[in-house]
Amino acid sequence: MDKTTITIIAILVLVVIGFVFKKLIAHEEKKNDPNLPEPRDSNTLPGNQGVKNRRGK
């Protein structure tokens, strides 16, 4: 394979990866919609990611 073919393949791979990540992010945003009847996670506000809720010790 010559240099041009490798470059074209690399660009196509990057475009496909970008498209997949874009779809994943859109899906996560849809699951975290605040208008849902029962939110998936109550700690999704900025700064609260990774906070573990502890129920009565």
Report d(CA 44, CA 33) in Å as an integer.
10
| 42, containing H or E segment | none
Q: What percent of the chain is helix, strand and coil (3-state, nearest 5)?
A: 50, 0, 50
Tell me the DSSP string of 20-49.
HHHHHHHHHHHHT-TTSSS-S-S--STT-T
Tokens standing for 2?
């010559």
Q: How much is the pLDDT for 1? A: 80
End-to-end CA distance of the chain: 63
pLDDT at site 19: 96
The ranges of the chain with pLDDT < 50 are none
Q: What pLDDT is recorded for position 23?
A: 93
